[in-house]
Structure 1
Amino acid sequence: MSALSFVADVAADYSATVTHLAPSEVELTVNVHRADGRVVSYDIVAYQNGDDVFAREKTPSRLPAFCPERHINSNGSFCLYWQEHDAMGVADTAAAHRWWQTLREFLLLQERVAKLRRWPGDGWAHGSAAHHQNEAETAAAALGRPMSEALQENRLLVKAGPKVPHPNGPTLRVYLDGVHIYTVWRKMGRITNKQQPCICARKKIGRRNKFRSCGDHALQAARFATSMLEWKEAEAAFWDVFTDATCCGTCDDCPLRKNVDTAAEPERAELLT
């Protein structure tokens, strides 16, 4: 069976109906049950590349034709997952269920965006920034729950250190709640002071291990700092590509908001209510 056949076979389990099935694509009507009790329908086209299955709205109506902030690509396809890290090849029924669960969650998030006019919860990184986001989240988790939670709560910040000549090159300074907690040599990927107490035990009572004797935490701390900065740089580079793109006007904090098509906004607002 093909990936699309597996997807079509379990469509009914997700309040969806197959309206057309072809070797290259399957057309679906997907009913989404919103939190307020309303049921809204999406006409979706699913298509495959290898074992991976992608989706887009058949004719953009409930969703913009293109919106990076809402993770809708320029060809209308949905960013359901980061393909390099989370590719979900649909080779069996279990994988088809995972695909449907991901699509359903994506559409539910889109319904929330229409109401909130912003992406709900933690934002997803765009383009190659997703790789650095994953690296930063993994490193933070390795440093312990407090560090991971601080990242999720946007309480961590990485800044370039003072521009002073040094054989080891430039530094990165990491801040928690505005307080500097450690520094990293950026080019070397190494913290500058392994004698300082490890951040994994911050705010705990008692003697704390130093970085140099706390497992791989010195390495993870350096990895976190560089990944955070590269995440920020890749995100900025992503948006630079779309500097002149027209904004759909559905998100108030979209970096493209300055390019909004004001004539289309009233029509879009009516479609999404």
Structure 2
Amino acid sequence: MKTLGKSYILGILPCAFYLPLVVSIQEITIPAHLKSAVVKIPVNSTSCSVTCGLGFKLEELCEITAEGQRRNCSLHRSECLTSWVCGLHHFTVPVGKPFQFSCLTLGTAGLGSQAYIYKWRLAQGLITTNDALFKPFKNSNSVIRFSPTKESDAGTYRCDVQMLKTFRIIKRVYFGVTVIQNDLVDLNFQKFLTWEQKLTAKKQGEPTENFTHEEAQEEQHFCQGELFYECLVGVGSGMIGGVLVSVALCFLRKILRR
């Protein structure tokens, strides 16, 4: 029985090697409708409109013929997702000032804010990205508004943006809010500029505070002082120059007399 089995296997092996040769020799006929088929593929693309979260990009789609030629090209807008984690944004807000921040950006793809679900969480009084420290925060909108801002509003707000149809998370962003007292730090830096810096900013067209009457008088005195200083320097330079010329002439006379 073993001998018969071996002979049977040896008889099948030549047939197995012969079949691919028969198939390769036969001609393969390509249907006519496949020969004229046209494929439309993207040949060029812009970068994503946002660095994190769901954005969009423009793609150039062209029909590619069997000869490799492009035709009937058109621009197509498609969604793109580079990274869904956007990191931490920190803000310092004085007490009593209105303030707001939003999950959405101008480059976000979709049909406006109604295409997404927003889930907020809060780590009150902390600036952190440790997700274990966050608790649910009731807000169904993409924007959080403080009007006015209170000390209890300080903390880190985490926003998860989900697609309305698939519940897929497409963006996670953290907003750190530090609330300070108005008398603790004065954020009006223009008040601490010197007159030279204010005049320079005014000449360059940069926005400055409106000058009061006293400030205008001080500015006038400052300009008059500068003018007096320039006149004094000019007169002094002239006198010194005259003295030097006189000394030089006297020295030349003595040399000539010898």
TM-score tier after normalising by the smaller chain length: under 0.3
TM-score under structure 1 length normalisation? 0.17
Q: Structure 2 length as normaliser, TM-score?
A: 0.18
Larger strand proportion, structure 1 or 2? 2
The higher radius of gyration belongs to: 2
